[in-house]
Amino acid sequence: MKYKSVFISDIHLGTKMSQADRLLDFFKTFECDNLYLVGDIVDGWSMNSGVYWPQSHNDVIQKILRKARKGTKVVYIPGNHDEFLRAFCDITLGNLILTKQYIHTAADGKKYLIMHGDEFDAVVTNMKWLSRFGSWAYDLSIYINVIITSIRNRFNLSHWSLSAWLKYKVKKAVNFISDYEENLSNYATFNNVNGIICGHIHHPNLRQIGKITYVNCGDWVETCSAVVENQDGSMEIIYWK
């Protein structure tokens, strides 16, 4: 496939939950003019307690750099888990751009503000200790989910996600997602753009909120999703299963 742009977020390289092998499979299927890395590509929080870096994680980095060498514009927007890179923002190295936010003009002329989105998560910005605890609890739910999936596969049962079930069943989580999407859409309106593309909450979505097109890339821990811009400027979510 030849896409105009591809948007990927929340790979969390450096953790055992990262689906790096699936991402590498996805990389083999497309070429693009622009590749946007929308935060939490590398998980610095996890590596503070010990380095986990298998060859597949190294291959992801090499694949991204190879695309940049071959002419793809790669824009890296750090998130809260790779916030250590924000100190180096606003630099350009060949086709690689490191920045906190970026405005992308799609093929149909629409302008999209691209940011990770943790700036609109009050827990991340005001209570980092609680955010880190929440990250640990989420990781634990993923580990448990691996065991559940193994058992369900043994009995030929369909896929079921514990973390996704918790996220959609807990009323406060549902309200948080809704508020998050509304707040980012309001921020897009304030910046006089047509849409906003983000990540952070591991919840892929593409919907219209008033005049703003809200787009969330999802993640490569659980949903294995990406957003692509077709040659006509239209956006769609790709789920890589």
Task: Kindly state the tokens that stand for 3.
Answer: 């896409």
User: CA-based angle 13:24:48, to the nearest 5?
Assistant: 5
CB 40 within 8 A of CB 15: no
The string of DSSP codes covering 30-46 is -EEEEEEE-S-SB-HHH
- C-alpha 176/C-alpha 184 separation (Å) is 12
Q: Classify 13 as helix, strand or coil.
A: strand
Largest CA distance in the chain: 52
φ and ψ at 13, to 5 degrees? Answer: -60, 140
- Could you tell me if residue 107 is left (phi over 0), alpha (psi between -120 and 50 degrees) or otherwise beta? alpha
Paired strand residues for 215: 197, 206
Of 56, 66, 61, nearest to 41 by C-alpha is 61
Q: Name the residue type at position 142.
A: I
Q: Classify 70 as helix, strand or coil.
A: coil
Would you write out the chain's pLDDT as a tens digit for each of its 241 residues? 999 999 999 999 999 889 999 999 999 999 999 999 999 999 998 887 778 999 999 999 999 999 999 999 999 999 999 999 999 999 999 999 999 999 999 999 999 999 999 988 754 444 454 445 455 555 666 666 767 667 777 777 776 666 666 655 554 555 567 789 999 999 999 999 999 999 999 899 999 999 999 999 999 998 999 999 999 999 999 999 7
What sign results for the dihedral spanned by CA atoms 142, 146, 151, 153?
positive
- C-alpha 3/C-alpha 170 separation (Å) is 37
Global pTM? 0.82
